[in-house]
RNA sequence: GUGCCCGUAGCUCAAUCGGAUAGAGCACCAGCCUUCUAAGCUGGGGGUUACAGGUUCGAUUCCUGUCGGGCACGCCA
């Protein structure tokens, strides 16, 4: 199962957060349903975006060396770029300082005063930077990649999202897998040349148009490495391959499945779950979101503002293919308005009761032999039924890729418990009744714990 | 313009992939703490499921159209 797979070109933002929360929860649910799940993050460390980040960082570094070139509008504007430049400066001082004439050589004179804003000019700057820096370019490239990836990994870890495999796109090129995938398609006659580029006949498999795999300039497209990546996934022997993508990539599905089919693989083994965008609202207003301009709320800021538990719960409480309005003010309110506390509170209450009962582990074992005949009122019977439902709920959530079903279930279970709590005393003198009721709430405690765990939400003993 | 997704209570969303009186939370109104945690409980109002047709014993669900919103339509990733 592959998810997040954000470009390591800047901090994760709240949009990535949803994919992370959904993917991690779904992986947990699938594992709980009995599947052997491998969690994978595909690292786009080979593309042009990394070059732009490298250039951006170097330009910021030059500024620190009193070399001022108008910062390109389509470069990475974020403060974190300056931070990385600062780190390089502190470690290597003026080592990467070069005269601006070399960099601006073949650009229009106006580029000295006014920031450039076209892709062509940006690519020229990148090409020049590679020429001027030589070996040093690779150092900066590697430095910013390591920085961003480390930051990303750390960020996700603190969000309770961990991966078994971090798969490098660059490794596909280094190991010749891209070349092999392309040759394979070639040998099956699914490729052709036109306008100097190499095209894949994706229209043979229902796509709207054929797609370029190798550009006129010799560069492979992202699609090319993606074909190699998916071929590699299948060759690793997974029974089922699951991708979680942002909904803006939905147009990408036919070409990837088409490529698999062309390679003689079963496209039905690849399931793609689309996650819609999350839109943040603060004070009733939309919060701005744009990676390139540096104007976005980061996942880290979100976690600091609303806390991990509320963030994880809010992200998965909606069906993933629905747009999500994320109300920051609601998520961070620590009152009855906030649904995450409702479930956690039920758990904490049970812990409190069990603590006051004071039994130890041996006593708890006795509870499992409690006389359940004592549980007879409608609330108790409803709770028993609810607990019995849990395995089916997990199975359904797994089958439909819908962790939100777990969230709804937990809220219902917590609701029935709270109601029970208010109507019935547990620590009553009659031992037979007491043990039966304690056995019931201990079971609820267990299921709440399991369910919250699947969602990546903590189950506190005290609140 | 073409394709995909969506439209359910004032707000945010469910509805076991065609079943019985469409359910929760928030907000609003009225009650409940000398008893295991009031981040809780009890009760109440709130709907022509965007609209118009069609299929069906039965439609929020399936089909067609209209209106409204999102996304995608690069030799970008």
CA distance A130 to A55: 9
Name the residue among A328, A318, A314 with its Cα closest to residue A286: A328
Q: For A175-194, how does the pLDDT look when each residue is reduced to its tens digit (9 = 90+)?
A: 999 999 999 999 999 999 99
Q: Which nucleotide is nearest to A437 (CA to C1')?
A: B36
* Contacts of residue A97, Cβ cutoff 8 Å, sequence gap at least 6: A62, A65, A67
Distance between the alpha carbon (CA) of A281 and the C1' atom of B46, Å = 25
Phi, psi of A286 (to 5 degrees): -65, 130
What is the pLDDT, as a whole number, of residue A139?
95
CA distance A167 to A182: 20
What is the pLDDT, as a whole number, of residue A319?
84
Phi, psi of A222 (to 5 degrees): -55, -35
CA distance A312 to A20: 9
Distance between the alpha carbon (CA) of A441 and the C1' atom of B22, Å = 32
Q: For A386-413, how does the pLDDT look when each residue is reduced to its tens digit (9 = 90+)?
A: 999 999 999 999 999 999 999 999 999 9
Asked if residues A84 and A57 have their Cβ atoms less than 8 Å apart, the reply is yes
User: Quick one: fold of A339-455?
Assistant: Isoleucyl-tRNA Synthetase; Domain 1 (1.10.730)
Strands A40-43 and A165-168, sheet pairing: parallel
User: Mean pLDDT over residues A70-99, rounded?
Assistant: 94
Residue with tokens 């809220």: A411
Q: Which nucleotide is nearest to A405 (CA to C1')?
A: B14
Name the residue among A136, A129, A166, A105 with its Cα closest to residue A52: A129
Q: Domains of chain A: which residue ranges?
A: 339-455
Residue with tokens 């999202």: A161
CB atoms within 10 A of CB A392: 10
Please say if the pLDDT value at position A170 is more than 90.
yes
Q: Which nucleotide is nearest to A281 (CA to C1')?
A: B12
Return the structure tokens found at A348. 């904490």
CA distance A253 to A25: 23
Q: For A319-349, how does the pLDDT look when each residue is reduced to its tens digit (9 = 90+)?
A: 887 777 777 777 766 666 677 899 999 999 9
Residue with tokens 């043990």: A435
Q: Which nucleotide is nearest to A336 (CA to C1')?
A: B39
- Bases of chain B below 7 A from a protein C-beta are 3-6, 12-17, 24-27, 35-42, 70-77
CA distance A275 to A372: 44
Distance between the alpha carbon (CA) of A411 and the C1' atom of B24, Å = 9
To the nearest 10°, the Cα dihedral for A364, A348, A422, A363? 10
The least confident of A86-100, A110-124, A224-238, A416-430 is: A110-124
Please say if the pLDDT value at position A291 is more than 80.
no
CA distance A244 to A22: 9
Distance between the alpha carbon (CA) of A419 and the C1' atom of B42, Å = 9
Q: What percent of chain A clears pLDDT 70, i.e. is strictly above it?
A: 96
Distance between the alpha carbon (CA) of A324 and the C1' atom of B70, Å = 11
Q: For A238-269, how does the pLDDT look when each residue is reduced to its tens digit (9 = 90+)?
A: 999 999 998 889 999 999 999 999 999 999 99
Distance between the alpha carbon (CA) of A211 and the C1' atom of B64, Å = 33
What is the pLDDT, as a whole number, of residue A284?
67
**Bridge partners (DSSP) listed for residue A280:** A326
Please say if the pLDDT value at position A295 is more than 80.
no
User: Mean pLDDT over residues A53-79, rounded?
Assistant: 93
In the structure, what pLDDT confidence band is assigned to residue A361 with cuts at 50, 70 and 90? low
Q: For A125-164, how does the pLDDT look when each residue is reduced to its tens digit (9 = 90+)?
A: 999 999 999 999 999 999 999 999 999 999 999 999 999 9
Phi, psi of A22 (to 5 degrees): -65, -50
Return the structure tokens found at A202. 């994706």
User: Mean pLDDT over residues A432-458, rounded?
Assistant: 94
CA A92 to chain centre: 34
CA distance A302 to A159: 10
Instruction: Compute the half-sphere exposure of residue A2: CA atoms within 13 Å on the CB side of its CA.
Output: 22
Exposure string of A70-101, with b = 16+ CB inside 10 Å and e = fewer, is: eebebbbbbebbbebbeebbeeeeeebebeee
* Contacts of residue A208, Cβ cutoff 8 Å, sequence gap at least 6: A254
User: What ipTM was estimated for this complex?
Assistant: 0.94
């Amino acid at each position: 199962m592959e998810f997040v797979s954000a470009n390591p070109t800047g901090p994760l933002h709240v949009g990535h957060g949803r994919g992370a929360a959904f993917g991690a929860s779904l992986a947990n649910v699938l594992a709980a349903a009995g599947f052997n799940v491998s969690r994978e993050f595909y690292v786009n460390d080979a593309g042009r975006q990394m070059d732009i980040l490298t250039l951006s960082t170097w330009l910021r570094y030059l500024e620190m060396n009193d070399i001022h070139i108008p910062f390109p509008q389509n470069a990475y504007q974020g403060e974190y770029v300056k931070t990385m430049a600062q780190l390089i400066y502190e470690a290597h001082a003026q080592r990467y300082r070069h005269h601006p004439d070399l960099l601006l050589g073949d650009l229009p004179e106006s580029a000295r005063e006014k920031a450039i804003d076209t892709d062509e000019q940006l690519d020229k700057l990148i090409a020049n930077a590679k020429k001027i820096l030589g070996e040093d370019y690779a150092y900066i490239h590697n430095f910013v990649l390591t920085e961003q990836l480390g930051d990303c990994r750390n960020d996700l870890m603190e969000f309770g999202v961990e991966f078994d495999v971090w798969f490098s796109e660059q490794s596909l090129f280094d190991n010749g897998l891209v070349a092999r995938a392309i040759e394979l398609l070639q040998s099956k006659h699914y490729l052709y040349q036109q306008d100097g580029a190499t095209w894949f006949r994706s229209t043979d498999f229902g796509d709207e148009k054929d797609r370029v795999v190798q550009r006129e300039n010799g560069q492979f497209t992202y699609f090319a490495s993606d074909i190699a990546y998916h071929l590699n996934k299948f060759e690793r022997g997974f029974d089922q391959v699951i991708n979680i993508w942002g909904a803006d990539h939905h147009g990408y599905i036919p070409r990837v499945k088409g490529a698999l089919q062309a390679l003689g693989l079963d496209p039905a083994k690849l399931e793609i779950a689309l996650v819609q965008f999350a839109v943040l609202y603060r004070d009733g207003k939309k919060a701005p979101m744009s990676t390139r301009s540096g104007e976005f709320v980061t996942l880290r800021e979100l976690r600091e503002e609303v806390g991990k538990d509320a963030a994880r719960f809010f992200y998965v409480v909606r069906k993933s293919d629905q747009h999500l309005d994320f109300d920051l003010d609601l998520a961070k309110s620590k009152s009855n308005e906030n649904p995450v506390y409702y479930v956690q509170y039920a758990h904490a209450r049970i812990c409190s009761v069990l603590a006051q009962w004071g039994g130890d582990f041996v006593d708890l074992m006795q509870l499992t032999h409690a006389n359940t005949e004592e549980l007879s009122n409608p609330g108790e019977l409803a709770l028993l039924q609810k607990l019995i439902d849990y395995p089916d709920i997990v199975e359904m959530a797994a089958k439909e890729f819908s962790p939100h079903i777990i969230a709804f279930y937990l809220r219902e279970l917590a609701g029935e418990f709270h109601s029970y709590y208010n109507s019935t005393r547990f620590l009553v003198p009659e031992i037979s009744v007491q043990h039966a009721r304690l056995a019931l709430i201990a079971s609820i405690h267990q299921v709440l714990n399991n369910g919250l765990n699947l969602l990546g939400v903590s189950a506190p003993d005290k609140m």
